[in-house]
Amino acid sequence: MNMINSKAPDFTSPAVLPNGTIDEDFTLSEVIEGRYAVIFFYPLDFTFVCPTELIAFHHRAGDFESRNTALIGVSIDSQFSHLAWRKTPVNNGGIGELAYPLVADTTHNIVKAYGVQAPSGDVALRATFLIDRNGLIRHQSINDLPLGRNVDEYLRLVDALQFHEEHGDVCPAGWQSGAPAMKATTEGVASYLKENAASL
């Protein structure tokens, strides 16, 4: 389901906060108001690929925060399962404390609203959404269950979106913060390719 430039579906659901407390009425629109957000869905607590992703997001939470970007994880597990997984040591397959909230979607309503329920119907796929300050979805990606995400790619996309908003230029393939961008014109692409095509 293509959701690009659609309003991100709002939700209110229990969540485990970074300090380990449970917010029974975690509301997306309130948490991300005036900010960018990366919402990522994962299949299940106490599984295999999932903890590597959650820990990778945790290690980069400060990088997202420095970009005024809220980071939010969602699965169909309960808030109590999330809390138990956080309390399980990393060396025992747990995730430890996280610097971002984990939302409980036991009703599957959030998963369905974002169109990321697995064909089996019992879990979410590995889906990621980048939301701008107006609450619009500007990027979405969905991985099948065995395929872990590259968290650094989402930081790159946040940088690209913010660069575009500030400067109006568009960001070519593989663009990184500080690299040349291009004007969205025939002349702009020709100029960019003349200087950069060989390194693409």
Q: Which residues are catalytic?
A: 50
Q: Which amino acid is at 112?
A: K
Largest CA distance in the chain: 56
List Cβ neighbours of 190 (8 Å cut-off, separation of 6 or more): none
What three-state secondary structure class fits 6? coil
Burial 139-158 (b: 16+ CB within 10 A, else e): bbebbebeeebebeebbbbb
Residue showing tokens 């369905």:
112
Backbone phi, psi, residue 128, to 5°: -135, 135
List Cβ neighbours of 102 (8 Å cut-off, separation of 6 or more): 15, 16, 54, 73, 74, 75, 79, 82, 86
